[in-house]
Amino acid sequence: MEVKIDTKEKFTVITPITLDVSANIAADLVERCRTILANRVKNLILNLTSVTNLDEAGMEGITQLQQEFYENNASFVVCGLSADIEKALEKAELLDLWNITPTESEAWDIVQMEEIERELLDGDDISFLNENG
């Protein structure tokens, strides 16, 4: 499966260059995405702009993959879904589980906000008490 990979400072964007993501292609895509978790920069944006068909195995694989990213303190955002894929996700009752944005730019914003949130929640030096105790 051919994909375009664009690595940024805080995240990696993977864009499949295919119209149809069937079970075999979906498995390959999931494995390629999973390798990002081993990188220093673990956040991933999956841009599905060119994908017009995503089968059930692909939807399930991406759903599980997103969960793995969040379990590993990493962001996972999907962008560029076609109306047909959105309908298929809704029918499979998966649409509400996915972290979806319409555009890649909005996905960048989500990843950066989640990074800030993790930094704030992980910071040991933050005190919510005022000076008077």
The pLDDT tens digits for 13-42 are 999 998 888 888 888 999 999 999 999 999
| pLDDT band of 104, cuts 50, 70, 90 | very high
Structure token digits, residue 92: 């499979």
Q: In the chain, which ranges are E strands? A: 3-7, 12-16, 20-21, 44-47, 53-54, 76-79, 100-101
| pLDDT band of 125, cuts 50, 70, 90 | low
Architecture of domain 3-122: 2-Layer Sandwich (3.30)
What is residue 26's predicted lDDT score, i.e. its pLDDT? 87
47, 80 Cβ separation under 8 angstroms: yes
| pLDDT band of 132, cuts 50, 70, 90 | low
